[in-house]
Structure 1
Amino acid sequence: MQKYLDGVALTVDEIHTGIHALILKGGMYPVLCGSALANVGVQLMLDAVVRYLPAPIEMPPVKGTNPDTDAEVECELKDDAPFVALAFKIATDPFVGKLIFFRVYSGVVTSGSYIYNASKGSRERLGRIVRMHANHREDVTEVYSGEIAAAIGLKDVTTGDTLCTEDHPIVLERPTFAEPVISMAIEPKTKADQEKIGAALQKFMEEDPTFRVHTDEETLQTIISGMGELHLDIIVDRMRREFKVEANVGAPQVAFKETVRQTAEAQGKYIKQSGGRGQYGDCWLRVEPMEQGFGYEFVDEVKGGVIPREYIPAIEKGVKESLTRGIQAGFQIVDIKVTVFDGSYHEVDSSEMSFKMAASMAFQSACNKATPVIMEPIMKIEVLTPEQYMGDVIGDLNSKRGQILEMTERGQMKVVRAMVPLASMFGYVTSLRSLTQGRASSTMEFDHYADVPNNVAQTIITGKKK
């Protein structure tokens, strides 16, 4: 820096070294522009990665947890240290099948050796190892600490799994993936497509942790879920290009969820007598609201043997099945703690089935008492618009139940940031283009779930019952 201030011209190498040093300290963040589709700026970006970003040896050691002792473990970047790697990406190759991309944080791994998947507790043999150069594969026999390669032949590995040795187990921090916020029905156009669509969707799920597939129990339709309209459009397009599968898709549907806002208790009693041995199950459940992202927890507080231990799993199964059926509108129930704390049984008539039914009845009753609500995904949106259209943009966002967060300037343009329900944003790119004569642009990403207003909730419930 002093040399520059003194008016002395810097060499190219000195400039590269200075940028690299600043990036290491967090004093500079490189921003590069380009287009992968047009192959513009791609080589410059790759050169910048090599020149400026930290080499593995310049980073502090990665830390993980021993799954047996919960003790913190540090991975040294040494070839003679125990092998540790993270599977960070899965791709499907038409010639070799599934490719597991992994980065070695410690030690060395060789093709043909056995590795331990500490995330799943399974052991697999590592077949071929390849180093990828775009779409060209180079076979290698060893991968050293700090290097990236792809494995062929691993069947039980998913994105985020830690690979290591059984003698030195360690689990690295897994990447976090958001839950899907949008769904649509999909069906093959022909019988030939029907035979291939399942395999295609399965491969996409293996590659992309934010993509989900399930079958609707009522309509038996195949439902695909993802992070937005564009995400699912790309999936359908890839299915056509890579697997030659043509499909019809339905209108996008928002991934609503349900939860409770208060604590409540209820009894479920299932008694059935029809000649011979009857059915008897009786349990008390307590439901409690939990923080967003908590998911679900089942707790057993039964004391004194009022419910035999062998029936507790059946009660939990009844609760889990009820979670998928919803409270008011049939959406997944989340962020809830369920506790079984009392009940009774019959020595002859009680069975797992009767307690599962009793649990389902108690859970539904308790949830109805606990102020059930429907939640919807809220998106964070940023609109870049000329000043003359700013009023129209804000008015349009307000009409979509949006909440304006801030308005700033970026050069000659105005920036509007807001929170808007996803349900109001289908086709927004087209409507924004029409509203601003094609001069505005927007970016949108999922932010959080929020309770649906009562009037909107009633419309949703009525629509689900039709």
Structure 2
Amino acid sequence: MRTELRPNSVNPLAVVRNLGILAHVDAGKTTVTERILFATGTIHKRGEVHDGTTVTDFDPQERDRGITIFAAAVSCAWDGHRVNLIDTPGHVDFADEVERSLRVLDGAIAVFDAVAGVEPQSESVWRQADRYGVPRIAFVNKLDRAGADLDRAVESIRARLHPAPLVVQLPIGTEDGFTGVVDLVRMRALVWADGGGTATEGPVPEELRERAARRRRALEETVAELHPAALEEFCAPPGRLSTGTLVTALRELTLSGEGVVVLCGSAYRDRGVEPLLDAVVAYLPSPLDVPAVRGTHQGAGRERPADPEAPFAALAFKVTATATGRLTHVRVYSGTIEKGDAVMDPATRRTERVARILRVMADRHQPLDRAVAGDIVAVVGLRSARPGATLCDPDAPLLLEPPGTAEPVVSVAVEARRRTDTGRLAQALARLAEEDPSLVVRTDAETGQTVLSGMGELHLEVAVEKIRRDGGPEVTVGRPRVAHRETVSRGVTGLVYRHVHQTGGAGQFAQVVLDVEPLGPEGGFAFRSTVTGGRVPQEYVRAVEAGCRDALAEGPLGGHPVTGLRVTLTDGSTHVKDSSDTAFRTAGRLGLREALRACAMVLLEPVAEVTVTVPEDAVGGVLGDLAVRRGRVTGSETRAGAAVLTATVPLAELFGYATRLRGRTQGRGTFTTRPTGYAPAPAPAPAATPVR
């Protein structure tokens, strides 16, 4: 086990790797993490997901459900490098947890099932990583399964994710006979004995030499097409790439995102994990290889290099409440922080003191005296920091861009079973929303009920169960409801709205002329002004836009948020004394509300792409059930003896679908969902006319 750290003469940041494990649910992320910890000597007994003994799935709900719910950080050492690893959830309901983790990572391992290839959530997390520019390597897992096919999985990566796959390994054996890999970079065989352990290195087996030579040649050709220096060497005699040039080119293509190095193995059987760690060290970036973090101060852009001597700057990406205190997980981008130091949140201007610094090992912690640029640690003592908050040196303020938060799509009404527990429930809900920004708590203005909104049915189930398990009150939960939107199908032009308000003193006057039109399938909101001649000064134009955005909170059909429209301010007029920002903001808000009442509006409902895997003899019943649920089948294929159906289904029709699918398939069917946006909802049925 190569776990020693390198001498102090090496820049400490150069031997740090901050990476995450990304994948679709059940692709084997947690097992990969567990085997990495075992291979590095961090743990001395392999944990298993099905036994509930893994290090990173330590929450009781994760062990009961057999899935990762909360991102968990661990740290280990390999080949003189410090590897900070975050095991992320694979279920779509917890995509925001992945988003917050990706914001602070330098690289990632994308895990794919060798039978299923790229699955819906695999594609989603890949796109999330694209948004943050996170370099990745791919690990095709479960090659020991029946129906496993590396080439088919690689082709799905090429077709659905669109990078250039750079396959650096060739499997030795297939399915249950998978015993090792051929390393195409160094042209050697790595074979693992039953029970795992260190690989035995040897020459490429005779029966695979010709095939391995062809694969190595194809790898060199692909790299030469993408990398100018490699192309120059490839075109010179003897017309091949040296190992050193190939490794350098693979690393640079990984860092640029032009290619993705593909490895393979079976994490469950401990085959392929050590080469994967070698690839992490060889190809994924250190904090020195990524651009300096950018932030703002007083509206101006600023950069902070990954330098322990620079002013301190960090981003909080996770907050957890434990029995020993509130932990704020942070990525340190620049500078150094020590116990007792004061840090400031520039967004709130609040300054707090760091009581302790901890190296996180899932649910265990190792005290540290200090943390430096490139570290991922937890700090104790911050009472107000929220996920996404910037922490910086009070004498050198810097505000970093927080990770995005998706809008919730499912809501339930919650109330304490006993009236005396209402206050305790409010406190428990506030803690949930503090730890998970994708959970939103509000009070319904009409019913007075407390409404909890999240990313899906499972997300809300986990949140309510967490209240109970953390010693909260007994809770009654209403039926889930989806979050509707409203949009414009036919707009209006030239709507004139005049706002005049006199109170005896200075009055308010603003007149606006608005055009409203559909924006298109991309949704959102766009505003522009075509006013000429200074009839509406520029500062008032901004106020009109702000007022229009205020009006989007409630649409005319049912008070749902409005999306998918463009508003154009075409004309207006002002008063010498009574016009103001406030007057024009009010005119924008009330004018757009009046315009929306004159438009043809459409109610939208959230829809999801559903991928259902069932035995072939159950396809008919499943298709019929999807049709009843207003599903539209978009694809069908056979994979490893099972039928895989893809359909677009309204999210409201998927409540309780897991139970129905199990019943129709005798427990053999599974499904996954991926939100795909909004679609027009059916018009409500007219009320029946009473018979007289």
Flag whether TM exceeds 0.5 (same fold).
yes
Equivalent residue letter for 2:363: N
Identity percentage of aligned residues: 29
Distance (whole Å) between structure 1 residues aligned to residue 469 and residue 303 of structure 2: 44
Q: Is the aligned partner of 1:407 residue 2:407?
A: no
Distance (whole Å) between structure 2 residues aligned to residue 435 and residue 420 of structure 1: 18
Alpha-carbon spacing, 1:363–1:421, altered in 2? closer, same or farther (3 Å): same
Question: Using a 3 Å threshold, how does the CA distance of structure 1 residues 112 and 335 change in structure 2: closer, same or farther?
Answer: farther
State whether residues 270 and 280 of structure 1, in contact with CA within 8 Å, keep that contact through their aligned partners in structure 2: yes
Q: Alpha carbons of 1:105 and 1:255: their partners in 2 closer, same or farther (altered >3 Å)?
A: same
Residue 602 of structure 2, aligned match among 370, 373, 392: 373
CA gap of 1:184–1:134, structure 2 versus 1, over 3 A, is: same
Alignment of 1:12 with 2:198, yes or no, is yes
- 359, 371, 389: which is aligned to 1:143? 371
Residue by residue, what CA displacement relative to the aligned partner does 1:337-359 show, whole Å, maximum 9, x if unpaired? 545541455968x8999877654
Q: CA deviation at 1:449?
A: 1.9
- Deviation string, structure 1 residues 254-278 (Cα, Å, up to 9, x no partner): 10111224553422345689x9789
**Mean Cα deviation higher: 430-439 or 286-295:** 286-295
How is 1:258-269 mapped onto 2 (pairs within 5 angstroms)?
258-261=486-489, 263-264=491-492, 265-269=494-498
Q: Is the contact made by 1:211 and 1:225 (CA closer than 8 Å) also made in structure 2?
A: yes
2:524 is equivalent to residue 294 of structure 1: yes
Contact 1:90 1:158 in 2 (8 A): yes
- Counterparts of 1:402 and 1:394, CA distance in 2: 9
Structure 1 residue 223 corresponds to structure 2 residue 451: yes
- Which moved further from structure 2: 246-255 or 161-170? 161-170
The worse-fitting range, judged by mean Cα deviation, of 438-447 and 391-400 is: 391-400
1:23-422 alignment, distance < 5 Å: 26-28=260-262, 53-54=280-281, 57=286, 60-68=289-297, 73=303, 75-76=305-306, 78-96=307-325, 98-117=326-345, 120=347, 122=349, 124-128=351-355, 129-165=357-393, 174-261=402-489, 263-264=491-492, 265-269=494-498, 281-286=509-514, 287-290=516-519, 292=522, 294=524, 304=534, 313=543, 319-338=548-567, 340=569, 341-343=571-573, 358-422=587-651
Change in Cα spacing, 1:222 to 1:285, as seen in structure 2 (3 Å) is farther
Is the Cα contact below 8 Å between 2:486 and 2:602 reproduced in 1? yes
Per-residue CA distance 1:125-177 (angstroms, 9 max, x = gap) = 34222233443444322012332211223344332334344676656554333
Structure 1: tracts of 5 or more residues without a match:
35-40
Q: Displacement, 1:208?
A: 1.1
1:7/1:149 Cα in 2 relative to 1: closer, same or farther (>3 Å)?
Answer: closer
Which consecutive residues of structure 2, in runs of 5 or more, have no partner in the other structure?
1-182, 202-242, 255-259, 688-692
For residues 208-266 of structure 1, give each alpha carbon's deviation from its aligned partner in whole angstroms, at most 9, with x where no partner exists: 12111111122221111111111111111111121421121111111011122455342
Question: Conserved in 2, the CA contact under 8 Å of 1:285 and 1:366?
Answer: no
How far the C-alpha of 1:298 sits from its partner, in A, is: 8.3
Instruction: Write the distance in 2 (CA, Å) between the matches of 1:445 and 1:311.
Output: 39
Post-superposition CA distance 1:48-81 (Å, at most 9, x none): 99776457638722443242576574633x4334
User: Counterparts of 2:601 and 2:309 in 1: how far apart (Å)?
Assistant: 57
TM-score where L is the length of structure 1: 0.78
Q: Within 1, Cα distance between the matches of 2:640 and 2:469?
A: 41
1:457 aligns with 2:683: yes
Preserved contact between residue 130 and residue 140 of structure 1 (Cα < 8 Å): yes
CA contact (8 A) 1:384 1:414 kept: yes
Q: 1:193 is aligned with what amino acid? A: D
Partner Cα separation in structure 1 for residue 418 and residue 535 of structure 2: 57
